[in-house]
Copies of this chain bind each other. A is one copy, B any other.
Amino acid sequence: MKEVIVLGRPIIFQFYDQQLSQKFKVYKPWESSLPLEQFITTYAQSVEAMICSPMRIGSQISSSILNLLPLLRVIVTPSTGLDHIDLVECRRRGISVASAPTVFSEDVADFSVGLLIDVLRKITAADRFVRNGLWPLRGDFPLGSKVGSRKVGIVGLGSIGLKVAQRLEAFGCIISYQSRKKKPVSYPFYPDIHELATRCDVLVICCALTDQTRHLINKEVLLALGKEGIIINIARGPIINEMELVQCLKQGEIAGAGLDVFENEPNVPEELPSLDNVVLTRHVAYYTEDSFKTIYELICGNLEAFFLNKPLLSPVLDD
């Protein structure tokens, strides 16, 4: 039987537990009373494959976890981001990693456009206004800002960022981007995030979380974006210095934010829910029936390829 250890309780198991458990012998620590380390060592002498979770709480695949699994040869992560896996250590140990590089791109791009329209046009705020019964009581509601002709800077023009740009072009937004290197596109390229922020009304964060991008968006960048500026983050929380963002939002140094990710999920800074100029969602930009079905198939395909000694379907390759 093909053994697979599953760490971090990936959300896919909420929807495809039964199917995965029929295809593989799946070891799930959350169904065991054993402490995690003891649970892992129970299977250490046979298990070669792992599914891990991209949600970061207590599910970092660090060298200390890898030390417990000497036979491990493959990790399958149902995510685009890889910041929860110690890739250097995996490489050193010859552990292959399979990810889901573009499965979620369209859904995440759609969601980020939804957040952008919502913040500019105050959809969630208007919904609260109506649900709270304020419409018959109060005539006033603040005007929104037009989406079209907004200057939008895409931070990280990968698979997601490119799809965000293509969608926003249909609204008449003016696109530019920052990225590690220039891409073969016609959008203006600004290697310096500070310059991008200065030139834009909206920043949409689409880059991976790395040592280089951690706290890339800090107070200086937010001040450069300016009082009319909007920030959208559907990538990873720690790319923004959250404390500085909260201060800027509270003090009106920027106009608003649409945040699907946070530095310390599932915790959201306590100041944010009282603000009307933010939209706060629970890391669901990738969260659709369609993409979970695709991801389930991709997990199975990668694991089956591994057990048949075939090439992985979606291997993570060295840069």
Contact = CB atoms under 8 A, between A and B. Distances in A.
17 contacts: A11-B139, A14-B140, A107-B146, A110-B147, A111-B123, A113-B171, A114-B121, A123-B279, A130-B282, A131-B280, A136-B267, A141-B284, A143-B289, A143-B292, A145-B288, A146-B289, A167-B170
Interface residues of A, number: 55
Contacts of A267: 135-136
B110 A115 contact: no
Chain A to chain B: the 7 pairs with minimum beta-carbon distance, closest first: A114-B117, A170-B170, A126-B281, A146-B290, A135-B266, A130-B280, A131-B273
A252 interface: no
A96 interface: no
Nearest to A119: B114
Contacts of A122: 284
Contacts of A284: 121-122, 126, 141, 144
A318 interface: no
A132 to B, nearest CB: 8
Contact of A144 (B127, B139, B144, B289): B289
Contacts of A147: 106-107, 110
A287 interface: yes
A27 to B, nearest CB: 20
Interface of A: 11, 14-15, 106-107, 110-111, 113-115, 117-118, 121-124, 126-127, 129-131, 133, 135-136, 139-141, 143-148, 166-167, 169-172, 265-268, 273, 279-282, 284, 287-292
A110 B144 CA distance: 12
Contact of A111 (B117, B124, B292): B117
Given A15-B143, A266-B136, A287-B144, A118 B121 contact: no
A183 to B, nearest CB: 19
Given A113-B117, A121-B287, A123-B281, 6 more contacts: A14-B140, A118-B118, A123-B124, A129-B281, A136-B266, A146-B290
B172 A166 contact: no
A119 to B, nearest CB: 10
Contacts of A131: 273, 280
A265 B135 contact: yes
A170 B171 CA distance: 9
B114 A110 contact: no
A170 B169 contact: yes
**Interface-central residue, A110, A122, A287, by most chain B CB under 10 Å:** A110
